Amino acid sequence: MANQELVDNLNRALGLELAAVIQYMQHSFLVTGAEREVYRSFFREQSEESHDHAKTLGDKVVAIGGVPTVEPGMIRQSTDLKEMLRQDLALEREAMEAYMAAWESCKDSDRPTRFMLEERISQEQIHIEELEKLTSERKANVTKEKITLRQVS
What is the number of the residue whose Cβ is closest to Fe ion?
53
Q: Greatest CA separation found in the chain?
A: 72
CB of 7 to Fe ion, least distance (A): 18
The least distance separating Fe ion from the CB of residue 108, rounded to whole angstroms, comes to 26
Least CB distance from residue 112 to Fe ion, whole Å? Answer: 19
**How far is 103 from 108, CA to CA, in rounded Å?**
11
Round to whole Å and give the CA distance between 28 and 26. Answer: 5
Q: Could you tell me which residues come within 8 angstroms of residue 92 by beta carbon, excluding any fewer than 6 positions away?
A: 20, 124, 127, 128, 131
Q: Which is nearer to Fe ion, 106 or 117 (CB)?
A: 117
Other Cβ atoms less than 10 A from the Cβ of 109: the count is: 9
Binding window for Fe ion (CB under 5 A); candidates: 51-59, 65-73, 83-91, 101-109:
51-59
Site for Fe ion in 53-92 (CB under 5 A): 53
In angstroms, what is the minimal distance from the CB of 124 to Fe ion?
5
Phi-psi bin for 145: left (phi > 0), alpha (psi -120 to 50), beta?
Answer: beta
Q: What gap in Å lies between CA 12 and CA 61, rounded to an integer?
A: 11
Span 84-143, contacts to Fe ion by CB under 5 A = none
- 50-58, 62-70, 81-89, 106-114 -> range binding Fe ion (CB under 5 A): 50-58
Q: Which residues bind Fe ion (CB under 5 A)?
A: 53
